[in-house]
Structure 1
């Protein structure tokens, strides 16, 4: 469930990501390809975690990137900043359905985030795993209830490329967790990757079919828009589930940014405030704009980050030299021309 929880977040649950990458009537074949890519990327990140044997992302990046680890850290911080901005904007979009008070909602939750991150209430962040079943059930119920006669587009090479960047974006969000997991056998890694891929593929397929059966794709949060047609109770559950997902994703991203800046300025409250202020300003672009414009950029960066991790798993040409320097290679006895040792 931990692996699944790191992939399925608030953006996924809202349905906006699917529209941003594939349009309002994607091909159902996208779901199958997304599942396959999820399996590969999930397995690679878990295998990297096993090989790197590190407890935090900074150490993992140092081992896979060498001298370029600072660049990898910047990429991951940029990812966290965009995610935090999207979550702030997400609160505005979600609660403005009840009463239009933009940007008051995002400002309030930015203040709440600063207070929580400063106090270090890690338990609230870890509850993301407990929310996964609720998020998944809401998606399944709302989408199944919305599917009638879906309209879909043909599968194209562009769909294939966007499937790669879409999963790359989601897996980069998950990489900070997956690459720090070690102690799993290869069998456990492949089983976890397979289960994650199956769940992601099934949910993507349901969202695609539901989008093709309605006009909800034009809304900021399609899943919430679909639920509004299913009665107040279902609508309430959908809003609560998405809000909870936004909250935990927001805290996870904010903690990463705060810890980075705190390491520079040495003041946690100031770090939390400054990072929240910058991301809040970015979030004023609106949830739909942030997701539609900036998430594809994260997708490209996610694919590059995955490629670097994949390269790390292969033995390097200078590996034997490094092993020799560490005393792990025994020099073979040399022989002269007549075959005698010297």
Structure 2
């Protein structure tokens, strides 16, 4: 494997991860709701999710490379047919809209806390920064993810180990109970992979220019899923040490480290900003690209309108999004995940020996 291939593999892996490591992941909310609440089962759930992410990344990217797919329509419709494809497309666009709006709102909140600026000005800044990245199209998104994703992974892992090393639950108190999303860790892990597959497939179907060889397409997905698994295991270990104390915080990881280190809490706030920004940009790009290509409207105009509309739509709370909308889209995304896996298995069985 040549040096250029290794570089492209990591580039593709980081871009794949950028669609999944968003604010929900970095804050700890997703990890708690989908894994930590199942105690020891949560660790097995993360391993299962990591395996599924690797398998799906492998399948989708290999399909994009081997069939020279350059758009989401070319990826989706041959598998689902017209009617189901249109239904799935509507679900995808709705989910991307929700993610984009809430992440811009989250950016505004964190920026306001760090800078002291009025919330409405922080929202404008967040939307403008998101729009600037969207305007760069897929090349800019790849460049951003190549820089931001390694920083996110390093920051999350460092903070995870810091929490484990400085465990002190005496500053917490418990109030109330939190309802489990599902009855078992297996289905919870599947739901987690399912709703993340909705957006990640949109972005992966546009990655043909970066899939220079079959090795890049195959190993990019596998590596991305593997790194996600390791990072999630570290965060879960840290949150599990504080469970159920950690569930009372809107942003669990930040809530824990604020009681131990003010400096580290400010640093992690910046990591959260990067995570929210990455989520807003990737979902905003995917949504802009879909609307622009389907309605034949100027790409930059669509991006500007979407960012403008997203500014007033900041009423949903961060944790309520994780606990209500994400599982709903997880159920809706099960069909897409099943179709991807089924098509791969059927193709493998029927392939000439």
TM-score bracket, shorter-length normalisation: 0.7 to 0.9
Equivalent position of 1:332 in the other structure: none
- Following superposition of structure 1 onto structure 2, how do residues 141-152 of structure 1 map, counting pairs within 5 Å? 141-147=158-164, 148=167
Decide whether the 8 Å contact of 1:168 with 1:303 is kept in 2.
Answer: yes
Equivalent position of 2:124 in the other structure: 107
2:54 is aligned with 1:38: no
| Greater Cα shift, 69-78 or 240-249 | 69-78
Cα deviation, residue 269, structure 1: 4.4
- Following superposition of structure 1 onto structure 2, how do residues 52-201 of structure 1 map, counting pairs within 5 Å? 52=64, 53=67, 54-67=69-82, 68-98=84-114, 99=116, 101-118=118-135, 120=137, 122-123=139-140, 126-147=143-164, 148=167, 157-179=183-205, 180=207, 183-185=213-215, 188=219, 192=223, 195-196=226-227, 198-201=229-232
Give the gaps of 5 or more residues in structure 2: 1-9
Offset from partner CA, 1:137-183 (integer Å, 9 cap, x none): 222232333233889x9x98433322211222233332234455664
Instruction: Note closer, same or farther for the CA distance 1:149–1:177 as it changes in structure 2 (3 Å cut).
Output: same
Instruction: Note closer, same or farther for the CA distance 1:275–1:211 as it changes in structure 2 (3 Å cut).
Output: farther
- Following superposition of structure 1 onto structure 2, how do residues 1-342 of structure 1 map, counting pairs within 5 Å? 1=10, 2-3=12-13, 5-6=17-18, 7-21=20-34, 25-52=37-64, 53=67, 54-67=69-82, 68-98=84-114, 99=116, 101-118=118-135, 120=137, 122-123=139-140, 126-147=143-164, 148=167, 157-179=183-205, 180=207, 183-185=213-215, 188=219, 192=223, 195-196=226-227, 198-212=229-243, 215-263=245-293, 264=295, 266-315=297-346
C-alpha distance in structure 2 between counterparts of 1:64 and 1:237, whole Å: 44
- Aligned Cα root-mean-square deviation (Å): 3.4
Instruction: Note closer, same or farther for the CA distance 1:191–1:256 as it changes in structure 2 (3 Å cut).
Output: closer
Q: Secondary structure at the match of 1:59?
A: helix
Q: Which has the larger radius of gyration?
A: 1
C-alpha distance in structure 2 between counterparts of 1:228 and 1:104, whole Å: 25
- TM-score, reference length from structure 2: 0.75
C-alpha distance in structure 2 between counterparts of 1:294 and 1:224, whole Å: 22
Cα deviation, residue 189, structure 1: 6.9
C-alpha distance in structure 2 between counterparts of 1:211 and 1:104, whole Å: 35
Cα deviation, residue 14, structure 1: 1.3
**Runs of 4 or more consecutive aligned structure 1 residues displaced over 6 Å after TM superposition:** none
- TM-score, reference length from structure 1: 0.77
Equivalent position of 1:328 in the other structure: none
Structure with the larger helix share: 2
